[in-house]
Structure 1
Amino acid sequence: MLNKSAAVFIFALLIVIATCSRSNIPDSGSALVTAEHHPFGKYEQPITLRIGMGVDPTFKSYTGETPARNPWVTAIKDTLNVNIKIDWMVANENMEQKIDLAIASNTLPDAMVVSQFQLKQMVKADELADLTEVYHRYASPVMKRIIDSTNGKAMEHATFDGKMLALPSVEAEDISMMWIRQDWLDRLGLQPPATMEKLEQTARAFVERDPDGNGRADTVGIVTGPSLYDDFHSGPGSFNLNPVFSAYNSYPGFWLKGADGKPVYGSIQPETKAALAKLRDLYGSGLIDQEMGIRESPAEAVIDGKGGIFFAPFSGGYWPVPEALKNNPRANWQAYALPLDADGHFNAKMFKPTKSFVVVRKGYEYPEAVIKVANLILRDEYKYGIDFQPLRITLAPRDEISFSVKALHDVMAGESKPEDFADKVEYSLLHNDLNAIKNTKLAPYDRTDIQYWNTRGSNFKRAYSLLVGGRNLLDPNLNKVSSIYYSHTETMETQWRHLVDAEMDLFTQIIMGVAPLEAFDRWVEEWKRQGGDRITDEVAQAMMQR
């Protein structure tokens, strides 16, 4: 019979053996093992990630790819052992409605991309997984550097009561700027219009002095579309009038700090009325496209070679300028940080870095898989492109455009070599930008007129956008104007769309002469009564709680 000491020893030994045995048994509720605790770690056993997806029904793949069968699905499976399954798929224009229905019925896929408004609804309904731990544990260093480039603003939009409930997008800082036919200016002996007075004179010359030399009165001064300006939700967009409003220190759609330090809504300020009065004069004089809001696309006049001025971000060099060059290879579109205000400043609306979010359904077993997929997409987008990319959001350093412009200038000037930027991996397009530039940009490198470009170069659109458009982010006259509030209040959730629609309708009517300028004052009072004052109070309260 065992003595007492031996019995104690054997009992302890059995406990150790049982503990070790259990430690070698994978948790049946998780596919994770030690090797998988890595931003690109592959699951030992396959897992499934079900997503909701918006698609362009008119898009046709020439290689036979589909949303369910494409290089991204294959790469994610091969690299991570994650099977991407499409829970539902709708046309992009129906995506918002589909997501709203999914939120209301709590029938969510494992992950999807949503807007800020939808994110807040899901947070309120307690439908989302907490990503705080899995983000810090699994997000790649590159992803973290990009999100940190917003100085905490991206995380602020995705964090609720201390919990990270979504993966935020990050968009490069950009502005609306003037794109103008430099060849028309040269033909008429004009300079880029620095002020509103000069802009009016230039637009008049473009309409009345036959700048294209065809002997017909068929040209348009300022081309714009139905969206007159960008509000605090999104931007910068193309073919609006942001810089014209800003030249009058008017920032419609933005929340500003009033003289008393309290929030005020930019659209209802006297400066906006002054800007509308000038735009009404310009339209009435035929200097703004008389088919504003009627054309199938406002870009028609630019692409057809009839428009002389439009306002757009740096990406005007991606579109519509290349399309215009197909019709007229000598169309010399240049971009400027103009017009200036009375004090010589180019006032540019600055937009929030985050406009969309990847969310994960509460209860999904593998929330870290969503972060891993995002890591892979960020790393390998240059390989597989954006077609059929699952859970697509933009992830670019906040200063990507301005940093890339400076790097290109340094390389073209011989002050740096492309390999000097090898450690800047968060700038995912920079390697190609720098290595392709001297095959795209022709000498002299300090001249950006169209004749100094290889327009057939594979990187032409990107390089042209950066060196013609992006340079304006470095303009010494640039005055950045931010909205002091970019989120939603409770009353906004029910009233905002109605208020914004009424605002845009009235402003369009005033510009086109359908409504008198005095209608602005009546609308301001109506805006206040129909929820504007309540929303302003809610914004003030939200600001105080920060």
Structure 2
Amino acid sequence: MLRKYLFLLLFALVLVACSDDNAGSEPNDGDETENGDTETSSETADPFSAYEEKITIAIGQEVDPSDTSLQDGDTPLDNQYTRHVNENLNIEVEHAFTASPSNYDQKVSLAIASNDLPDAMVVGPVELRQLVEADQIADMTDIYENYASPAIKEIIDSSEGVALENVTFDGKIMAIPNSQASADGVHNLWIRKDWLDKLGLEPPETIEDFKEVAKAFVEQDPDGNGQDDTIGLAGPDTTNKLYANFLESTNNLYGFDGIFSALNAYPGYWLEGDDGQPVYGSTLPETKEALSVLRDMYSEGLIDPEMGVREDSGESVISGNTGMFFGPFWMPYGPITDAVTNNPEANWQSYGLPLNANGEYTPHLSTTTTQFVVVRKGYEHPEAAMKILNNLLANESEFDPSIGGPGYYPLRLVYAPADEMEVTTVALREVLAGTKEPEDFYDMPAYKLLKSDVDSIHEIKLEPYDNTDIEHWDPEANLGQWTRAYSALVGTAPLVDNEINGVMSLIYSQTETMEDRWVNLKKLEDETFLKIIMGTEPLDSFDQFVENWNSQGGDQITEEVAEVVNK
């Protein structure tokens, strides 16, 4: 009996010793498995906890060389965003590579082809599928379940399953999806209203009105400098597209999206044909008609003659040479803030125009999920990428975009309820009208910037509060908050004040044949349409394009799209 008690006592001491050893070890967010994947424990997961010892994450990042918003001494790798990640999470961000917006996708493709990935990076739907098929990225299922913050999960859930469906392969979550405001997919018409007023013109409601305004802007010296240097309508630069498409359905800058939709043309989108089956909008007669209109406008000098070769069409907006362009609500985060800083009388206003022949505003609409954060398979801390995303959403209101645009935040994905900007616009109007108090909007955590929006609006908006012309603002009082408020009260106003008869694409992802054929088909489309508009190919080359598109894989792709849609 004594030997039995001695054995039990010895066993208990061993257990205590093992327990003490474990208690003295550093907490570990994940354990490595034999194949290099990381398993996480829900018992230790904390979406916002800092690491006890500093870790590093090497990322691929898009850096716009034309963005001059960084304050003196800051760099793309040392700024308010990277310092915040370092201080809050004890994560040191490094750059595996950087690339301009026009070269980023190419850099990502090279990294995939060479199997030399950064620890984490942002990719689009095409690259995501390539990475999954090459087995180069980590399974993020447990990471998402255990580390995604409640706010991010709430926003992703608001997509009604679309966001997670786009990153789920064979039942595994292979990337962290974004979920953004639907306003990002509507490309409004931005106009120099001070030019309209000077020339006695109204905002153009029809395509014919639009051409008349563009002609006046070119020929009647609206800037009053006595020189022939004004542009009626900006065109896409080397970074952007003629129009958004089903794979890149948001945030197209300086394209002709509004002209196409006013002519009931939706190139780049999959639509329901007369027989109820899918058709590709770029192959339809309506697109040919729209190309004809653009071709005439270009030949008449109404469109920037340097379209397609400019490195940044925003420069002509900032310099005060351009009178109109198409873009999303957030253009004050782009060139408009600099344009107003250079010329406080530059009265850029946003409109849901032009309308179609029935007097309707019919823009194409986007999917709410367009970008994804992926993590290199074998990276020791895959949860770090999720924590960085949590940190941005929770603290975004602390950052000042006037001293470094949000594009400098590492691994930035946009997280917003689908109606975030419309809700913000209405809230600001109610606070300015005195029908609501700022405190009425404090308890809305998914609308992450709303509290700072309503708290600061009286600092920057001057009376009369219902007039958004530039002279009724004080940008110098708080330039960062002005940028945000101007995006809401001017940029988003057309989405609140107009009936939107938008058009969705039937799909926003690739089919199997697209993986091999789409790059070449898209190149064929882009080159043909640009040449038609610029007059270097006849309009009827459109018909040959349709024939070539079908024979080079378009027919098969259309069948595959039909299979997806009919399911």
* Shared fold, TM over 0.5: yes
Q: Please tell me the residue identity of whatever aligns with 2:551.
A: R
Q: Note if 1:186 corresponds to 2:201.
A: no
Query: What is the match of residue 560 of structure 2?
Result: 538
Match of 1:348 among 357, 363, 367: 363
Query: What is the match of residue 37 of structure 2?
Result: none
Query: What is the match of residue 36 of structure 2?
Result: none
Query: What is the match of residue 233 of structure 2?
Result: 222
User: Comparing 68-77 with 93-102, which one deviates more in the overlay?
Assistant: 68-77
The change in CA–CA distance for 1:25 and 1:112 in structure 2 (over 3 A counts) is farther
Match of 1:152 among 158, 161, 178: 161
Match of 2:436 among 394, 406, 416: 416
CA contact (8 A) 1:146 1:396 kept: yes
Alignment of 1:181-330 (within 5 A): 181-214=192-225, 217-226=228-237, 227-234=241-248, 235-330=250-345
Structure 1 residue 307 displacement after superposition: 2.7
CA contact (8 A) 1:400 1:427 kept: yes
Deviations 1:400-446 (CA, angstroms, capped at 9, x unpaired): 21111011111111111112111122222222221221121111111
Structure 1 residue 487 displacement after superposition: 0.9
The whole-number CA distance in structure 1 between the counterparts of 2:217 and 2:79 is 48
The alignment of Structure 1 onto Structure 2 pairs a total of residues equal to 539
Give me the identity figure in percent.
45
Report SS of the residue matched to 1:54: strand
The change in CA–CA distance for 1:544 and 1:13 in structure 2 (over 3 A counts) is farther
Q: Please tell me the residue identity of whatever aligns with 1:507.
A: F
Alignment of 1:45-60 (within 5 A): 45-46=52-53, 48-54=55-61, 56=63
The whole-number CA distance in structure 1 between the counterparts of 2:323 and 2:134 is 50
The change in CA–CA distance for 1:318 and 1:122 in structure 2 (over 3 A counts) is closer
Query: What is the match of residue 35 of structure 2?
Result: none
CA contact (8 A) 2:295 2:535 kept: yes
CA contact (8 A) 1:236 1:351 kept: no
Q: Please tell me the residue identity of whatever aligns with 1:176.
A: H
Structure 1 residue 493 displacement after superposition: 2.3
Query: What is the match of residue 338 of structure 1?
Result: 353
The change in CA–CA distance for 1:208 and 1:56 in structure 2 (over 3 A counts) is closer
Q: Please tell me the residue identity of whatever aligns with 1:38.
A: D
Deviations 1:202-226 (CA, angstroms, capped at 9, x unpaired): 2233334444445555433222225
Deviations 1:40-72 (CA, angstroms, capped at 9, x unpaired): 2344x5363432232648589656455666665
Report SS of the residue matched to 2:233: strand
Report SS of the residue matched to 1:491: helix
The whole-number CA distance in structure 1 between the counterparts of 2:86 and 2:344 is 45
Q: Note if 1:465 corresponds to 2:487.
A: yes
Report SS of the residue matched to 1:477: coil
The change in CA–CA distance for 1:312 and 1:14 in structure 2 (over 3 A counts) is same
User: Comparing 368-377 with 437-446, which one deviates more in the overlay?
Assistant: 368-377
The change in CA–CA distance for 1:212 and 1:65 in structure 2 (over 3 A counts) is closer
The whole-number CA distance in structure 1 between the counterparts of 2:83 and 2:360 is 51
Deviations 1:218-249 (CA, angstroms, capped at 9, x unpaired): 43322222532111222231211101100111
Gaps of 5+ in 2: 30-40, 401-405
Structure 1 residue 336 displacement after superposition: 0.9
Structure 1 residue 104 displacement after superposition: 3.3
CA contact (8 A) 1:254 1:266 kept: yes
Length-normalised TM-score, structure 2: 0.86
The change in CA–CA distance for 1:504 and 1:452 in structure 2 (over 3 A counts) is same
Q: Note if 1:39 corresponds to 2:61.
A: no
Match of 2:151 among 122, 132, 142: 142
Alignment of 1:498-537 (within 5 A): 498-537=520-559
User: Comparing 526-535 with 221-230, which one deviates more in the overlay?
Assistant: 221-230
The change in CA–CA distance for 1:64 and 1:204 in structure 2 (over 3 A counts) is closer
The whole-number CA distance in structure 1 between the counterparts of 2:42 and 2:6 is 31
Report SS of the residue matched to 1:314: coil
Report SS of the residue matched to 1:331: coil
The change in CA–CA distance for 1:418 and 1:73 in structure 2 (over 3 A counts) is same
Query: What is the match of residue 482 of structure 1?
Result: 504
The whole-number CA distance in structure 2 between the counterparts of 1:263 and 1:12 is 74
Match of 1:122 among 115, 118, 131: 131
RMSD: 3.1
CA contact (8 A) 2:397 2:452 kept: no
The change in CA–CA distance for 1:318 and 1:534 in structure 2 (over 3 A counts) is same
The whole-number CA distance in structure 2 between the counterparts of 1:209 and 1:412 is 37
CA contact (8 A) 2:460 2:473 kept: yes
Q: Please tell me the residue identity of whatever aligns with 1:410.
A: E
Q: Please tell me the residue identity of whatever aligns with 2:337.
A: P
Higher Rg of the two aligned structures:
1
Gaps of 5+ in 1: none
Query: What is the match of residue 91 of structure 1?
Result: 99
CA contact (8 A) 1:30 1:365 kept: no
Length-normalised TM-score, structure 1: 0.89
The change in CA–CA distance for 1:64 and 1:419 in structure 2 (over 3 A counts) is same
The whole-number CA distance in structure 2 between the counterparts of 1:316 and 1:85 is 28
Q: Note if 1:448 corresponds to 2:468.
A: yes
The change in CA–CA distance for 1:260 and 1:372 in structure 2 (over 3 A counts) is same
The whole-number CA distance in structure 2 between the counterparts of 1:62 and 1:53 is 22
The change in CA–CA distance for 1:513 and 1:369 in structure 2 (over 3 A counts) is closer
Deviations 1:347-399 (CA, angstroms, capped at 9, x unpaired): 11112222221112334444333322321232233445647533222223322
